[in-house]
Structure 1
Amino acid sequence: MIGGTVAAVAVAGTVLAVVLPGQGPQGRPTPTATRSTGPTEISRSTLTALAPRGLRVVSDQGAVVTIRWYLPAKTRRYPLVLQREPADGQRLMTMEAGATSAKVLGLDPDTGYCFLVGAALEISRKSTVAWSKPHCIRGAVSR
């Protein structure tokens, strides 16, 4: 790679390669036409447009639940995360970009759960995720 450094960023167990422009060997700056002043703000309308939709449970077998959702075309390139509450020790589950379903294992059959699916649009100290609306089962209520 010319004029860039590759850094690995881990998010909930998934490692993503991030190209950092303007850094040459040993971290010395290299000439570039423009320099970024930091992450750009992602608008609320963009978050809404890229959020997974139609989250639903298609199978509830007690300890195993299968969830499906729809992804807008532009969202299919982003890595996805599934959040569940209560967490039971595993709050986030990572998924490949473009995934439209997941099996959630190890659930307590007598407990209600709420699920969210999100597209990781920006990974940084202040990561930006476009979240679906929550879907709750077994009497659970979203906070």
Structure 2
Amino acid sequence: MRGNVVIGASVVAVAVAVAGTVLAFVLPGQNQQPQPTAQASKRPQSASTKPAEISKAALAALAPRRLRVVSDKGAAVTVQWTLPAKTRRYPLVLQREPADGQQLMTMEAGATSARVLGLDPDTGYCFLVGAALEISQKSTVAWSKPHCIRGAVSR
């Protein structure tokens, strides 16, 4: 057919365990390539195959660094951080406490700043940025050190 254009988009569903609670959110994805047909040679995975655990040292090495608030306009805050080179390929999440509804904000891989809206100007907040290293039933996130504002204290 002439004149018809089909535009596709994909999203990746992500579940992250935070403080014993599994949280699900959606990350914007890139257009995905077609999957191989069933005839492609692929080694079947057994039910006992588990991904290798990521060591505490590896988590620390991949965690975002130097998280800071660069602008506090009361109801809107801009936070920035730096990423180790190897972390730039992982999707990121920003967590805030207290949550006031939306606790996690998703960001694309490589992001180094975010604007957080809808804050109460009279409330203190703590922020964390994490790189989602493994997405599974037991997700692994490399978290930054917390950064708190307006008198809030990290738990």
Query: Would the TM-score normalized by the shorter structure come out above 0.5?
Result: yes
Judged with a 3 Å threshold, the aligned counterparts in structure 2 of structure 1 residues 30 and 88 are, in CA distance, closer, same or farther, namely: same
- Choose from 62, 78, 94 the match for 1:66: 78
Number of matched residues? 131
**Deviation digits for residues 70-109 of structure 1, max 9, x if unmatched?**
0000000000000000000000000010000000000000
Which residue in the other structure is 1:121 paired with? 133
- Listed as ranges, the matches of 1:27-46 within 5 Å are 31-32=42-43, 35=45, 37-46=49-58
Hey, what's the Cα distance between the residues in 1 that align with 2:42 and 2:150?
58
Q: 1:136 Cα shift?
A: 0.2
8 Å CA contact 1:55, 1:135 repeated in 2: yes
8 Å CA contact 2:74, 2:121 repeated in 1: yes
Amino acid at match of 2:91: P
- Choose from 5, 8, 13 the match for 2:26: 13
8 Å CA contact 1:10, 1:16 repeated in 2: no
- Choose from 77, 96, 117 the match for 2:89: 77
* Coordinate RMSD, CA, aligned: 2.5
Moved over 2 A (4+): 15-18, 28-32
- Identical pairs, percent: 74
Hey, what's the Cα distance between the residues in 1 that align with 2:37 and 2:141?
30
- Listed as ranges, the matches of 1:124-135 within 5 Å are 124-135=136-147
Unmatched segments (≥5 aa) in structure 1: 1-7
8 Å CA contact 1:24, 1:30 repeated in 2: no
Amino acid at match of 1:13: V
Judged with a 3 Å threshold, the aligned counterparts in structure 2 of structure 1 residues 9 and 39 are, in CA distance, closer, same or farther, namely: farther
Give the secondary structure class of the aligned counterpart of 2:89.
coil
